[in-house]
Structure 1
Amino acid sequence: MEQKKVDRTKSGSQKLGQLILLLGRLEKHPHTFGEAGPLTPSEIHTIDAIGMERGVLMSELANRLRVTKGAVTQIIVRLEDKNLVERTPNPTDSRSVIVSLTEKGKSAFRAHEEVHLHFYRELSSQLDEQEIEIFEKCIEKLCIHLQK
């Protein structure tokens, strides 16, 4: 019985490693989202972190992405050049800046969201209800573990 557990642990570890490798490959290549043209993973994740809100402070955006304010500024400059975001002074604090999506940026956000929904629909079509429930719990636990 103990050998089965060791074999399962080794097999699970290898499959997890393979998943991480495949996800890493996805993160290295630009993809096109709507009319936005090719966007790097860091650009689309920044668009995702801004979301459809009215705007987000640059400092809050850095916190959401878990990067420095300088790194966020570099990405925002690239996204501004592509007409996907705009920066405006914070009306309540002149020392801070609010970032929001342009209409083109909102289109990229929705296209990225649709990619995720399409992927999830395809994956869940191959699973029964119990497997979907277990899969979602596993993803939730994996995310919690990775955030430690």
Structure 2
Amino acid sequence: MDTTPPSHSPPASKGSRNLGRLIMQLRRLERHPQTFGAAGSLTPSEIHTIVAIGYEEKILMSELAARLEVTKGAVSQLVVRLETKQLVTRSSYPHDSRAVLISLTEKGKEAYTAHEEVHLQFYDQLRSRLSRQEIEIFETCIEKLNEFLQK
């Protein structure tokens, strides 16, 4: 006779446990500053702001806040920190004197490029451990996970 008490929730699947572990690993990585070329050590929020601005792009402060999904005040604080590190510049928007354009300096562009290189190196290392079929499945799963998380 089975004396195990009935479970009120189904046991966690291997996939669910691994997804939880992946999320914890990503959170751990997001807490630590990293060095990005001549820009030096940048926090995750700083480098993500640089990435959101983009390599050749000028962006309105309000658009940057929307892209990062943070308040204008939070973006303003980030921009001040990045200006202090000489990674971004502010300029007036030609059509509205109240609006502010943010763009990357040459040093900011170096940080952007260094960040992209980190991602490429990581992905190359991951791909070296997978078969062609596993890579295709992985890329499909990541795409579907992103779509799911955007809902």
TM-score, normalized by the shorter chain, greater than 0.5: yes
Partner residue, 1:94: 97
Say which is worse superposed, 134-143 or 15-24, in terms of deviation.
Answer: 134-143
Report the 3-state secondary structure (helix = DSSP H, G, I; strand = E; otherwise coil) of the residue aligned with 1:100.
strand
For residue 140 of structure 1, report the CA deviation from its aligned partner. 1.0
- State which of 117, 129, 139 in structure 1 corresponds to 2:142: 139
Gaps of at least 5 residues in structure 1 are 1-5
Partner residue, 1:57: 60
Gaps of at least 5 residues in structure 2 are 1-9
Q: TM-score, normalised by structure 2?
A: 0.90
Q: TM-score, normalised by structure 1?
A: 0.92
How many equivalent pairs are there?
Answer: 142
Report the 3-state secondary structure (helix = DSSP H, G, I; strand = E; otherwise coil) of the residue aligned with 2:116.
helix
Q: Superposition RMSD on alpha carbons, in Å?
A: 1.2
Mapping of 1:118-133 within 5 angstroms?
118-133=121-136
Partner residue, 1:112: 115
- State which of 18, 26, 30 in structure 2 corresponds to 1:23: 26
- State which of 82, 92, 110 in structure 2 corresponds to 1:79: 82
- % same residue: 65
Report the 3-state secondary structure (helix = DSSP H, G, I; strand = E; otherwise coil) of the residue aligned with 1:14.
helix
- How far apart, in 2, do the equivalents of 1:143 and 1:77 lie? 31
Partner residue, 1:47: 50
Bigger Rg, which one: 2
For residue 56 of structure 1, report the CA deviation from its aligned partner. 0.5
- How far apart, in 1, do the equivalents of 2:114 and 2:26 lie? 19
For residue 144 of structure 1, report the CA deviation from its aligned partner. 1.5
